[in-house]
């Protein structure tokens, strides 16, 4: 895996302090799905002074460069995620906000067939499943990771 610096260079982006910090944040497993405001808040919490506008700009550049993928969850705001090596969809718990990634061959194949049947050349798709954890134990609600209401319906 290339270093953060190398990744930025490869994307044709100058290696700057804000970009390094933001990319490093996105790389942390606990920050798999964050909004621009989330990133901004995290930066402030770790005492790094980066303007909100810069966060938006950098995130957009990362999106353009293919470093991150932008998602439109219910609720309006954009959520970013490090571009996965592998395609996957999302299962979101509406109670605790936990996001589970999954991939289903059958669904993927059917999507292509549906598009085909309608004479459409599929360029991309988005599938989100929303639900609630069956056992309170599984549910991360009340956990420090919990972000209740964030994906509220």
Partner DNA sequence: TTTGGTGCAAACGATTTGCAATTCT
Partner DNA sequence: AGAATTGCAAATCGTTTGCACCAAA
Query: How buried is residue 141: exposed, middle or buried, by Cβ count under 10 Å (0-12/13-18/19+)?
Result: middle
- 14, two tokens: 């100058």
3-state secondary structure of 53: helix
Q: Which string of x and - marks every residue 57-96 that binds DNA (by CB under 7 A)?
A: xx-x---------------xxx------------------
Give the Cα separation of 101 and 29 in Å (integer): 13
Give the Cα separation of 126 and 3 in Å (integer): 30
Q: At its nearest, how many Å lie between DNA and the CB of residue 31?
A: 15
Given the complex with a second copy, which of 44 and 112 has the nearer CB atom?
112
The length of the chain in residues reads 153
Using rule CB under 8 A, residue 87 touches a second copy: no
Question: Of DNA, a second copy, none, which one sits near residue 58, judging by CB under 5 to 8 A according to partner kind?
Answer: DNA
Among 79, 93, 150, 151, binds a second copy (CB under 8 A): 93
Binding site for DNA (CB under 7 A): 9, 13-19, 35-37, 49-54, 56-58, 60, 76-78
């Amino acid at each position: 895996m290339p270093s953060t610096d190398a990744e930025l260079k490869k994307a044709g982006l100058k290696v700057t302090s804000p970009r390094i910090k933001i990319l490093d944040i996105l790389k942390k497993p606990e920050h798999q799905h964050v909004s621009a405001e989330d990133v901004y808040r995290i930066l402030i919490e770790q005492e790094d002074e980066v303007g909100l506008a810069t966060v938006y700009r950098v995130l957009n550049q990362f999106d353009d460069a293919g470093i991150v993928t932008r998602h439109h969850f219910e609720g309006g705001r954009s959520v970013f995620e490090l571009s996965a090596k592998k395609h996957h969809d999302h299962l979101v718990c509406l109670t605790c906000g936990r996001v589970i990634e999954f991939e289903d061959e059958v669904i993927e194949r059917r999507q292509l067939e549906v598009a085909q049947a309608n004479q459409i050349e599929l360029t991309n798709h988005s599938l989100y499943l929303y639900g609630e954890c069956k056992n309170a134990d599984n549910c991360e609600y009340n956990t420090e990771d919990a972000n209740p209401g964030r994906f509220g319906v």
